[in-house]
Amino acid sequence: MALIVQKYGGSSVADADSIKRVAKRIAEAKRAGDSVVVVVSAMGDTTDELIDLAQQMTPLPPSREMDILLTAGERISMSLLAMAISSLGVDAQSFTGQQAGVITDSVHGRARIIDVTPGRIQQAVEGGAVAIVAGFQGVTQSTNDVTTLGRGGSDTTAVALAAALGADVCEIYTDVDGVFTADPRIVPTARKIDRISYDEMLEMAASGAKVLMLRCVEYARRYAVPVHVRSSFSAHTGTLVTDATEEVEGAPMEQPIIAGVAHDRSEAKITIVDVPDVPGKAARIFEVVAGSGVNLDMIVQNVSVASTGRTDISFTLPAADGAAATAALTEHQPDIGFGSLQYDDTIGKLSLIGAGMKSHPGVSARLFAALSDAGINIEMISTSEIRISVVTRADQLDEAVRAVHTAFDLDSADGQAVVYGGSGR
């Protein structure tokens, strides 16, 4: 008998009929003899709707209250799903993150899991029930306050529970058939990847492929949890995310140079103009930004103009953190001594990911040629061992992704990638 953790995303439980459909699927897995623990997201776009509501109260809601509000979404879906499963004659009990033993630090809005003590879940499963756990939420040890794990956090709840329970597999059910070579909403000819390494999936997730949350992939790699990403709307086998060296029967690791193309529309660019080109200024700028709790992504410093001894520094950051970073830098403008600051949230980021690029020359040349042929200007570039990222204008991003996907021969010959549901929000 296997222990399976299944996670159903918002689009899989968007309305009453969807919840009933998912309940049938869970009941079937249970009747087949497996022990089943389910992690569920809020229905459809509930989380976004709750955020919109909060913003009507105040533009900057207190983060503690925000977390209490948002965790309500998952509590609605977990109890409805338990009712639907029970109505099929299968025992089911739902649990909040706190009841499930998901312990986090106290950083509201993006808390990290520090421990999982799933005693009540184990009890429920041993008693023959399906345990349903509210995704995306936990509780702090110090204050007992409710926390959330950041957008897409139910993926992380699922993998963390799978690790703590020693589950055989963590199945992530979503609205597409697996991880594709690009977002099927943008590239209909994207190909489903049968098997991908944790490392490549980490870069894909970090570069905006929101099919899996970054933190969930980090967790899966650390605890060696095999993750199966698949659709709740079809019976197709999806994508297995595992260690590159592990032998998995029937799922050979694909070894192409390029795994896929990811895109990210959620970043903004800050350019600090006329920075004195002397030691210590960059350090000061990034201290100030870090002090405002903001994580940077790409950084570019221009060659300084010899006659002025001044230079420009640009960096990208999550657009959601734009106001905080801009305010902190403006406050320190006199002591840093820069001329002015430009803020631009109409950028897009494209990333090409593939473990094979380590040992294959010419990947960057092919990428830049594809973008230039499509008439797309590159504003910033950054690389890792297995990734090349470029910043473009936001309104050219989709076209850029399609051009690069084609240039690297990633288009599938057999039919179009299906998007079964969801608003893509």
* Residues contributing to the site for Mg ion (CB under 5 A): 9, 152
Q: Quick one: 37 or 205, whose CB is closer to ligand ADP?
A: 205
Q: Quick one: 368 or 420, whose CB is closer to Mg ion?
A: 420
> Using the rule CB under 6 A, is 332 a contact of ligand ADP?
no
> Using the rule CB under 6 A, is 424 a contact of ligand ADP?
yes
Distances (CA, A) of 102 to 199, 213, 214, 425: 26, 17, 18, 27
> Using the rule CB under 6 A, is 179 a contact of ligand ADP?
yes
**Out of 45, 183, 267, 312, which residue is the one contacting ligand ADP (CB under 6 A)?**
183
**Out of 21, 75, 120, 185, which residue is the one contacting ligand ADP (CB under 6 A)?**
185
Distance of closest approach, residue 154 Cβ to ligand ASP, in angstroms: 3
> Using the rule CB under 6 A, is 210 a contact of ligand ADP?
yes
Q: Quick one: 7 or 281, whose CB is closer to ligand ADP?
A: 7
Distance of closest approach, residue 157 Cβ to ligand ASP, in angstroms: 8
3-state SS, one letter per residue, for the chain: CCEEEEEECHHHHCCHHHHHHHHHHHHHHHHCCCEEEEEECCCCCHHHHHHHHHHHHCCCCCHHHHHHHHHHHHHHHHHHHHHHHHCCCCCEEEECCCCCCEEECCCCCCCCEEEECCHHHHHHHHCCCEEEEECCEEEECCCCCEEECCCCCHHHHHHHHHHHHCCCEEEEEECECCCECCCCCCCCCCCECCEEEHHHHHHHHHCCCCCCCHHHHHHHHHHCCCEEEEECCCCCCCEEEECCCCCCCCCCCCCCCCCEEEEECCEEEEEEEEEECCCCHHHHHHHHHHHCCCCCCCEEECCCECCCCEEEEEEEEEHHHHHHHHHHHHHCHHHHCCCEEEEECCEEEEEEECHHHHHCCCHHHHHHHHHHHCCCCCCEEEEECCEEEEEEEHHHHHHHHHHHHHHCCCCCCCCCCCECCCCCC
Q: Quick one: 178 or 322, whose CB is closer to ligand ADP?
A: 178
42 binds, among ligand ADP, ligand ASP, Mg ion, none (CB under 5 to 8 A by kind): ligand ASP
> Using the rule CB under 6 A, is 152 a contact of ligand ADP?
yes
Residues contributing to the site for ligand ASP (CB under 6 A): 9-10, 41-42, 47, 73, 135-136, 151-155
CB of 105 closer than 8 Å to CB of 114: yes
Q: Quick one: 259 or 390, whose CB is closer to ligand ADP?
A: 259
Distance of closest approach, residue 155 Cβ to Mg ion, in angstroms: 6
Which residue is nearest to ligand ADP, using beta carbons?
9
Give residues 13-72 in contact with ligand ADP (rule: CB under 6 A): 41
> Using the rule CB under 6 A, is 149 a contact of ligand ADP?
no
> Using the rule CB under 6 A, is 419 a contact of ligand ADP?
yes
Q: Quick one: 73 or 118, whose CB is closer to ligand ASP?
A: 73
Stretch that binds ligand ADP, among 174-182, 305-313, 384-392, 397-405 (CB under 6 A): 174-182
Which amino acid makes up residue 191? R
Q: Quick one: 229 or 367, whose CB is closer to Mg ion?
A: 229
Distance of closest approach, residue 275 Cβ to ligand ADP, in angstroms: 36
> Using the rule CB under 6 A, is 175 a contact of ligand ADP?
yes
- In sequence order, which residues have a C-beta less than 8 Å from that of residue 117 and are 6 or more positions away? 101, 103, 164
Q: Quick one: 170 or 261, whose CB is closer to ligand ASP?
A: 170
> Using the rule CB under 6 A, is 138 a contact of ligand ADP?
no
Distance of closest approach, residue 412 Cβ to ligand ADP, in angstroms: 13
CB of 206 closer than 8 Å to CB of 221: no
Chain positions contacting ligand ADP, by CB under 6 A: 9-12, 41, 152, 174-176, 179-180, 182-185, 209-211, 260, 419, 422, 424
